[in-house]
Structure 1
Amino acid sequence: MDGLRRLLPSATHLIIFEAAGRHENFTRAASELGLSQAAVSYAIRALEEQMGVTLFKRLHRSVELTEVGARFHGDVSAGLARIQKSAEDIRAKNRMQNVTLAASTAFASMWMLPRLAKLRQDLPDVDLRIQTSVRDLDLEEEGIPLGIRGGDPSQWPRYHAAELAPEVINAVASPAFIEAHGFPETPADLTRYRLIDLEEPVRRACDWPEWFESAGLSWQPRGKRLAINDYVLVIQAVLAGDGIALGWQHLTDRQTRSGLLVPVGNHVLRTGLAFYVVWPRSRELSAPARRVRDWLIAEGQAEAGDGQGPAVQAL
């Protein structure tokens, strides 16, 4: 390699030579490479002087590769093509280790963040990037491999979907709130307490009237209300003792098990819908993305404790 370094002036001169030989025109080569025509001429002359041969015949308005120049150009073109392909493969492989997951702020904060340490332990070579949004992103348009969506997968014909968790909703309060205001034992009891409303700006979400209706009660909000448009803030308000809120169990289970939240009202709404890991049908997932998808599904099923394999819906 040291001999090659002394033989050839620079890799840049070889790149310029390849473009000039392909176009057989110094001006067009200069335009392609973002150089001046004079810079191309200088690089070719330096290469010729270094090698001791004439690589181009200079004609009136064009140039033409000499016989030795054509032979050398073929070798240089093939070598640079192999180098480019190798560099692209390395960069692509590096990019494929990065996996982006699109999700709501609530899912990212309450489901994903508590599991990040386990994900790093289980998938140490994968760089997970979480992209949050108030709406479900178009994964194809955004170039994102994986997303989390709640609802009915038959409404997403462009996506594969694998169930992560069923939609199960109960009412939750903090121990401090219960100590101060008493324990509501039935849905009817809840109507006498301060209820915190989630006002989702875009995504469809169950509200208190729907939850009470599932319990056989008709209820509409009245008087002063505490309404918040971010579910993470809703749960923070509950933890602060400001009232009772609806708890999506896949998000609040850990806080319930730790005693930070207490189920109240003795009623659970199972909507028949679920939350899913989704990915576009239009392209194959990379190996790291498939591993993240399978990891998410396994985590969801471990939480449910059903011990079954992934339920993938091909729609």
Structure 2
Amino acid sequence: MADCPLDLGWMRVFEAVGRLGSLTAAAGELGLTQPAVSYVVRALEAQVGTALIVRQHRGSSLTPAGAAMYRAVGVAIAQLQGAAREIRNLQSQSVVRLFTDYGFASLWLMPRVAAFRKAWPEADVHIVASASLDPGQADAVDLSILFGARADFGPAAVQLFEEEVVPVCSPAFALRHGLSAAGEGIAGLPLLHLDSTPRPRWFIWRDWLAAMAIERRPGPADLSLSTYGLVVQAAMADQGIALGWTCLIGDALAAGSLVAVGPPIVRPQSGYWMVPAASLSAPAAALAAWMVREAGTVS
């Protein structure tokens, strides 16, 4: 939160006059008119019963009484501003900022985050989902849930899920094409792809087909989509076979909206990792511990 000056009324006006030595300069700094600043000073002088500034042709100067008031006001403003910073820091500690990708946010986090919010109702959780692998300004994020290998992250990272993928499709698609968990018949059917970089961090269909020693046969055209949530939706809509990261599509498999139609492949040192900031507030630390428990891992 920005460190905005408090509205201190006459104190801030008088402090600016004393510091700048000019009613006009003080007015310019505070966004007021010169008559308005002059009125505030005259009203203060009336309250204390003595002159506080000497108005001169060019600027103004403090009287001895004004100098005493200026010193007191300076101390008071510094103390009040310090108290305001402390209060703002306490308030900001209830905000938890979490960065992750679209797939993890929509398929794993959102179905579960209500449980955390129930346990920590005072925590203001901000979830930032992106197609990027990089959270950008690290100091603005408390927790990042990122996909990659152990070598991609620092020693503080905790692996939530290892990378395990399995071919999946809708039950109707599997029935129509006679598919089973053995993986037979996939070679000539449309595959659903997640658009990625030339060297993706995650498994792609080429990896699974190579692991199964399967060669593609001519058939219906494949479909590529920009986010993993769309890939899963396309699979549920009978558009083809997707690679399902088991940590993300486990709920859909359990509900029967997706079925496995081939053996899984696993890469234990790769997967989703939780990367915490250097220091965490109590709500952020609680969210981190909760995610570890939900993922079934031990930190």
Scaled to the shorter chain, the TM-score interval is 0.7 to 0.9
Identify which of 28, 34, 38 aligns with 1:37.
34
* Aligned counterparts of 2:89 and 2:139: Cα–Cα separation in 1: 18
Q: Which residue of the other structure, out of 216, 223, 233, is the alignment partner of 2:213?
A: 216
Give the structure-1-normalised TM-score: 0.83
Contact 2:174 2:261 in 1 (8 A): no
Alignment-mate amino acid for residue 281 of structure 2: S
Change (3 A) 1:221 1:180: closer
2:68 equivalent to 1:71:
yes
Q: Answer whether contact 2:188 2:220 (CA < 8 A) is retained.
A: no
Alignment partners' CA distance in 2, 1:104 and 1:11: 44
What pairs up with 1:143-182 in 2 under 5 angstroms?
143-156=140-153, 160-182=156-178
Match of 2:43 among 30, 42, 46: 46
Structure 1 partner of 2:94? 97
Cα 1:260–1:135 change in 2 (3 A) is: same
Q: Deviations over 1:60-110 (max 9, x none)?
A: 434332222222222222222222222222223222212121111111110
Q: Does 1:269 align with 2:258?
A: no
2:179 maps to 183
Structure 1 stretches of 4+ moved >6 Å: none
Report the Cα offset of residue 44 of structure 1.
0.9
| 1:108 counterpart letter in structure 2 | A
Identity of aligned residues (%): 33
Q: Secondary structure at the match of 1:191?
A: helix
Q: Matches of 1:154 and 1:27 in 2, distance apart? A: 61
Cα distance, 1:211 vs structure 2: 0.7
Q: CA offsets per residue over residues 263-290 of structure 1, 9 Å max, x none?
A: 122x11112312111134xx42333222
Distance 1:220 1:122 in 2: 52
The equivalent of 2:298 in structure 1 is 309
Q: Is the 8 A contact 1:196 1:244 kept in 2?
A: yes
For residues 266 and 49 of structure 2, what CA distance do their matches in structure 1 show? 82
Shift in CA distance, 220/42, structure 1 to aligned 2, threshold 3 Å: farther
How far the C-alpha of 1:242 sits from its partner, in A, is 2.2
1:285 partnered with 2:280? yes
Q: Distance in 2 between matches of 1:60 and 1:197?
A: 78
Residue 251 of structure 2 corresponds to 254
Alpha-carbon distance between aligned partners in 1 of 2:218 and 2:281, rounded to the nearest angstrom: 48
Amino acid at match of 1:191: A
What CA distance in whole angstroms lies between the structure 2 residues aligned with 1:242 and 1:177?
8
Please, which runs of 5 or more residues in structure 2 have no aligned partner? 1-6
Gaps of 5+ in 1: 1-9, 302-307, 311-315
- Alignment TM-score, normalising by the size of structure 2: 0.87
Query: In 2, distance between residues paired with 1:276 and 1:213?
Result: 26
Alignment correspondent of 1:194: 190
Q: Give the superposition deviation at 1:142.
A: 7.0
User: How far did residue 218 of structure 1 move?
Assistant: 4.2
Provide the rounded CA distance (Å) in 2 between the counterparts of 1:277 and 1:213.
Answer: 30
